Amino acid sequence: MISAGPSLDAKSIVAAAAAGDPHASEAWRRYVSDLSIGIANVVTFLNPHIIAISGGLSAAGDMLVSAVKPLVDARLTMVPIGTTAIRLAVLGNDAGAIGAAAFARERSQRAGPVISALTDGRALEL
């Protein structure tokens, strides 16, 4: 059974939903619906090749992807369905931080002497 308190986390919500808890199932349904709206918007505006999902509820694995994908496809009206793959991030919860650091490093290397002078070549090193 799902209960409020400090032990309530993504894994316990997913486990409770899978076990049939009605409150967890409703929370899961809302999360999947909201996530699919966000992904459909990103796909419509940016048309990326891949959407990588990370974060706490990505611990649900294929259960999350298989729930989100059909809802995203149903919301796509301006982009051909199936042109964007939806996958779990292989780096898990650290994917966003690692991607941001890699982006900052790459940008600092392309930016030339102005950024290098501002950071003294150390602040953005990984």
Q: Which percentage of the chain shows pLDDT scores above 90?
A: 37
Confidence at residue 4, expressed as pLDDT on a 0 to 100 scale: 54
Q: Tokens 């199932």 label which residue? A: 25
Question: What average pLDDT does the chain have?
Answer: 81
7 vs 57, residue with greater confidence: 57
Dig out the tokens for 17 from the structure.
């939903």
pLDDT exceeds 60 at position 19:
yes
- CA 67 – CA 29 distance, rounded (Å): 9
Q: How far does CA 36 lie from the centroid of its chain?
A: 11
Average confidence (pLDDT) over 13-22: 90
Entry pTM: 0.70
Q: How far apart are CA 14 and CA 2, in angstroms?
A: 10
- CB atoms inside a 10 Å sphere around CB 31: 19
User: In whole angstroms, what is the distance from residue 51 CA to residue 86 CA?
Assistant: 5
Q: Encode pLDDT of 62-119 as tens digits.
A: 889 999 999 999 999 888 877 899 998 888 777 778 888 888 888 777 755 555 555 5
Q: Which of 106, 82, 5 is nearest to 13 (CA)?
A: 5
Domains of the chain: 10-90 (3.30.420.40), 93-126 (no CATH)
